[in-house]
Amino acid sequence: MTIPNLNIVPFVSVENMMKLVLEIGVDRFLTDLAAYIEEDFRRWDLFDKTPRVASHSHDGVIELMPTSDGQLYGFKYVNGHPKNMREGRQTVTAFGVLADVGSGYPMLLTEMTILTALRTAATSAVAAKYLAPKGADTMAIVGNGAQSEFQATAFKALLGIDRLRLYDIDGSASRKCAANLKGQGFDITICKTAQEAVEGAHIITTVTADKQYAMILTDNMVGTGVHINAVGGDCPGKTELHRDILLRSHIVVEYPPQTRVEGEIQQLAADHPVTELWQVMTGKAPGRDDQRQITLFDSVGFAIEDFSALRYVRDQLRTIPRYDELDLLADPDEPRDLFGMLLRQATKQTA
């Protein structure tokens, strides 16, 4: 389906995003989205790249994440406010825009709270394709909030992970996660400590929300041959891993200028060597080259991932029209006569 009026912008609400995801199927949505992300990372050089523009406050952060491949422009507005959970609100909310570079006209406006959770999980699983040890089937998830089920589902869909070990300081969060994943083909163990959760895990995902320097994993908890998917540390002053773990790991990041400020590697010297994910995908740098190696994906989220998600949703709307038509763009009869358009509306209103 196409939208005949170019001045009408398709808007995907939360309700329509849920319908779109369910109609496509969560597993297929994640695997297809992962393919879009990998495709865009493989053409890394085409993109404008800049660290996200962040406005920090005592309560949280509000960020803009823009990029363009020269044909399309996309940005996401996203916040991170850990205290919101105590008030019954989401810690992270977001919306995004995809636009045509040639005209500057927006082509899509969409919610991105659900979509961000999906793209974050898809990106984690894509990275693990290159970094996780061979034969991995068990993942520990430390932090069982809003992102945990998406991470588990993506790792099962892309890598076949079917054994989960869950831990959260709030036991009800782990029970929630286990209940949501019931019947999805997982063997799930709820653990009493983070140490218990990581025992026997081939992949360790840390995805906590508190905005603080934390040590969710200490050095003695991490043995050789594991892959760490560090998702929770995503702003200055917020980390999850003990520094010594980083010093033992082969570290892969999305975009170093952003990750050095926001990721786990903010604990290291500015010249500490890291590998970029796009380099691993294109064979320009090794991923995992030793089964005893510790690999670490220091994920903070990057604008190209959101661009991929926006592009994917736009493409799905062509055959699955789960959107509303938004009258967002002024369309005067003569482009220079914007005031005349206002006068004509006044005449209509008084007629």
Calpha distance 273→224 (Å, rounded): 20
Calpha distance 345→337 (Å, rounded): 13
- Classify the phi-psi angles of 283: left when phi > 0, otherwise alpha if psi is within -120 to 50, otherwise beta: left
Catalytically annotated residue among 40, 69, 168, 234: 234
Residue pair 309/316 in contact (Cβ under 8 Å)? The answer is no
- CB burial of 200-239 (b: ≥16 within 10 Å; e: otherwise) equals ebbbbbbbbbebeebebbeeebbeeebbbbbbbbbbeebb
Residue pair 281/130 in contact (Cβ under 8 Å)? The answer is yes
234 is catalytic: yes
For the chain, the straight-line distance linking the first and the last C-alpha, in angstroms and rounded, comes to 36
**Beta-carbon contacts of residue 289 (< 8 Å; ≥ 6 apart):** none
Calpha distance 26→121 (Å, rounded): 12
Backbone angles phi, psi at 338, to 5 degrees: -65, -40
Q: Are strands 94-100 and 72-80 parallel, antiparallel or unpaired?
A: antiparallel
SS3 280: helix
Q: How many CB atoms lie within 10 A of CB 86?
A: 8
**Beta-carbon contacts of residue 349 (< 8 Å; ≥ 6 apart):** none
Catalytic residues: 234
